Structure formats: C-alpha cells, structure tokens
Amino acid sequence: MLNNKILPYQKTYKYNEVSRRQYYSSDCLKCPNQEKCAGKNRVRIITDYGGVLAKRMALKMETSEGKYEFAKRKQTVEWPFGNIKENLKYTEFLTRGITQTKTEKNLLSISHNIKRLYNIQNQDKINIINLNT
C-alpha cells in the first residue's frame, strides 16, 4: 500500500510448506510506484509463516541479536554443507544403509577439508609473493 490504496485479497497457495497469500489489483499494472511497492514482481506477496512458534522465530530473526546469531551460524556450521552441495554438486547420498552412508559422508568431509587446506596453502603462497614484490 504505497498510494494509500488497500489491495484486495486474491488467493492463498502453499510454497515449500509455507502458506502464502496474494493481494493485488489490476490498478497495480498502471501505477508508477509499482516497482517500489511490489519490487520486480507484478504482485505484492505477503507471507504467512504458520503457527505461533514459527511466527515467534520469524520475529526473533528480524531483531539485530537474531541476525547476529544467524550470521555466526552461517560462518561456522552451515558453510561446509553449502559448499559441498553447491560447489561439489553433491546433493544426495549414492549409497544405502547407515554404515555405507556414514562412509560416504566421511569421504565427502575429507574431500572438503583437503580442498580447504589446498586453498589455504595457495593463498599463503600468493600472500608471500605479494609481500616480496
């Protein structure tokens, strides 16, 4: 609501287990402030996070303390998993069973750590070369 117009409710749909409600009007397509209000999308989507606990967590994550805690988690815990999934293109286990899956996980962890050590060693060499020049 940028020009003091209330957008009427249109529909509700589920996306990744989250209920989303859409509010929009055909007037939005002609509005000069459409990009400010709705971004690059044609409609403004308001997200409903579900239950009480999920709403409380969403509100907590919007505070500066919540953002700080989440930033710490991204740097230490979730970075290796994201690296394995995105850079190594490894999104699912190829084996079945607990022992085989554990072995596969250990091999992935070893490959990730070897790659990190290699990159750290090369970065040190680059820093030494830059200091000498």
d(CA 82, CA 73): 12
Output the pLDDT for position 44.
65
Q: Coil, strand, or helix at residue 101?
A: helix
Mind giving me the DSSP string for 80-110?
HHHHHHHTS---S-SS-SHHHHHHHHHHHHH
Q: Write out pLDDT tens, residues 90-111.
A: 888 889 999 999 999 999 889 8
Sheet holding 44-48, edge to edge: 9-15, 18-23, 44-48
> Tens digits of per-residue pLDDT, 17-64?
667 777 767 777 777 777 777 777 666 666 655 677 777 887 888 888
Q: Is the pTM of this model over 0.85?
A: no
pLDDT classification of 89: cutoffs 50, 70, 90:
confident
